[in-house]
Chains A and B, each alone.
Chain A
């Protein structure tokens, strides 16, 4: 892994909402790297802060402390106009709900080219049209669809439009925030395959945010598990599934429904309740460490020795 180029580094990121005594820390001391060309999965339940991390990277939510470094340049906090423009193009986001994330009153042509209009990075009207056409073709839609409105499309097609408006910007890093959780199982497979194909064709780097580990395993090279604003475990996806160390990761894994009635009926779901654990986090706070090459864990000494025994 070390010979790979780091595209994005997140260092001790902290994101807060509210002021003074109403302050809420959504993301607390989170660090990870994303390598060029990989798919980095971020998994956690609602309210864990996974979307907030994505939004902090794309600079919708400001970082309270810590830094986000993209291609060796710091992008959190104050940045100059040139860099701002560059980042807007190179880091793009796919949103969760294709029913809510498209402007109902705009035609597909406008929706897909809105980013182009904002940055004015096209030569002529003809060139813009060509770019839109190509983006629609890339996601498996017909160029004629450009003159239609979003309500004329099904959920899966709308998500493709959401992907087309990302592609038209020719991004490097795409943050996909639960891009398939609002879709039917059969459509999910199509969208996952499309994302996979586009990654191979265009050399994209993905950060894939989701709550469902079974999908994340399928698409990700490495997975980080986040719980209450902290990453508790990070490893290559197969290593994480083969040897989950953190009790929260194990509880998430046990919750995945298996399509196998015999196994399901005898399944015991592990529940993660840190308050009830015997690790004394108050006295002995856990810290972030590498337990085996490429496998990181948030744990204190006592927890760690127990993990190793297992």
Chain B
């Protein structure tokens, strides 16, 4: 299967365009800013990974274009353009029903809780088909069996009648994916699709999603906290911190030539890169309090390379290549030269090695 090149992706049409989105929540009488002016263009047919720690706003961002924000949350400003409509202006459930499932579907994290335990799995897939594809009865059932087969469930006719408790975690996640694909969506959002699964099963599920993307012509957003997982599947990677996308680029650019100190820190803390006998790199401090207004670069207090200006003014995006940009003052021409940490340099060496092997 040929992987799309980054040029092909950037040249294909933009299906979803987020501009300066601000999302706020009211919590115990206080106001929390979960998304602070994030912008993102999603191109047709790509897989984009959104990576960040818990609380970085990656799930909130995705919920905002599914109409799934909690009732105390609201879109303060900004726009989410999809198909000529601004989803940020949607108010009622009727509006959302036209988008949810049919246009944008979601695979949730935990397959143990996202299926109905009282309904045969085939029926749950069929339900999506009947709701979104205008098929009824036998026809819908036939398609449901076909989709079950597509997601790698053997003997789909027999297993159609089985209940979620008869399936293992990995198999259940396949069923969840089947229900999402059965909506025939344009965009598929996978929220930590493999976090609850074993390493061996994780690899299989990621492979499955890749195959489905080709077959059903899907645009996929992966949400995850683990950079290690997405190297295999993502064309582009967006790194989120404190409600903003601080770096975005092709997957090779983010892994081999990261620019933002937070991306450096995330990469360095991967155990795969650790050196035995030495302490693993860990990010000092805690993410900022989103109840307070954030001044400058949100990562500055935890950043050993922070400059003075990082505490005063929020950095704009600096373009590294036409496909790669990062919000850090280190890229300003006036900034002092800061070398990335040794582990990130090691990655760059790996890149050269791997490149030799491939070519």
A interface residues, Cβ below 8 angstroms from B? 45-47, 154-155, 184-190, 192-193, 196-197, 211-215, 217-218, 237-238, 251-252, 254-267, 269
- With A264-B232, A267-B232 known as contacts, the answer to whether A45 contacts B200 (CB < 8 A) is yes
Interface centre among B200, B270, B283, B350 (most CB of A within 10 A): B200
A155 touches which of B54, B200, B281, B355 (Cβ 8 Å): B54
Contacts of B251 in A (CB 8 A): 261
Q: Which residues of A contact B283 (CB under 8 A)?
A: 186, 189
Q: Are the C-beta atoms of B271 and A257 separated by less than 8 Å?
A: no
Contact A266 B53 (CB under 8 A): no
A186-B53, A260-B347, A261-B251 given as contacts; is B271 within 8 A of A218 (CB)? yes
Contact of B227 among A189, A196, A211, A259 (CB under 8 A): A259
Residue of A nearest to B56 (CB): A184
Q: How far is the CA of A15 from the CA of B274 in the complex (A)?
A: 36
Kindly list chain B residues whose C-beta atoms are within 8 Å of the C-beta of A259: 227-228, 231, 255, 267, 270, 272-273, 347
Number of A-B contacts (CB under 8 A): 124
Q: Counting CB contacts under 8 A, is B252 at the interface?
A: yes
Name the distance in Å between B219's Cβ and chain A's nearest Cβ: 19
B332-358: CB near A (< 8 Å → 1, else 0) gives: 000000000000000100110011011
Q: Are B199 and A265 within 8 A (Cβ)?
A: no
Residue of B nearest to A269 (CB): B203
In the assembly, what is the distance between CA of A262 and CA of B256, in Å? Answer: 10
Interface status of B146 (Cβ within 8 A of chain A):
no
A205 to nearest B CB, angstroms?
18
Residues of A within 8 A of B354 (CB): 260, 262-263
Instruction: Write the nearest CB–CB distance from B122 to chain A, whole angstroms.
Output: 25
Docked pose: A218 CA to B278 CA in angstroms: 9
Contacts of A261 in B (CB 8 A): 231-232, 234, 251-252, 255
Cβ of B80 under 8 Å from chain A: no
Interface size class of B (residues with CB under 8 A): 35 or more
Q: Which chain B positions have C-beta within 8 A of A265?
A: 3, 232
The answer to whether A211 and B266 touch across the interface, beta carbons within 8 angstroms, is: no
Among A46, A192, A214, A252, contact of B272 (Cβ-Cβ < 8 Å): A214
Chain A residue, CB-CB nearest to B200: A255
- In whole angstroms, what is the CA distance A264 to B49 when docked? 15
Give A218 to B201 CA distance when docked, in angstroms. 22
Q: How far is the CB of A287 from chain B (nearest CB, A)?
A: 25
| B199 to A, closest residue via Cβ | A255
The verdict on A189 contacting B229 (CB below 8 Å), with A155-B54, A257-B203, A261-B252 known, is no
CA distance A212 to B351 in the complex (A): 24
Residues of B within 8 A of A255 (CB): 199-200, 202-203
14 new A-B pairs (CB below 8 Å) besides A186-B53, A257-B272? Answer: A184-B225, A186-B265, A186-B283, A192-B271, A193-B279, A255-B200, A257-B199, A259-B255, A259-B267, A259-B347, A261-B232, A262-B355, A263-B354, A269-B204
Q: Are B270 and A190 in contact (CB under 8 A)?
A: no
Q: Is B323 an interface residue (CB 8 A)?
A: no
Which residues of the other chain, B, contact A184 by a CB distance below 8 angstroms?
53-54, 225
State the Cβ distance, A164 to closest chain B Cβ, in Å: 19
A–B complex contacts, Cβ < 8 Å, 17 sampled: A155-B54, A185-B227, A185-B266, A185-B270, A186-B225, A189-B282, A189-B283, A193-B282, A211-B199, A214-B228, A214-B272, A251-B200, A255-B199, A257-B272, A258-B231, A261-B255, A262-B358
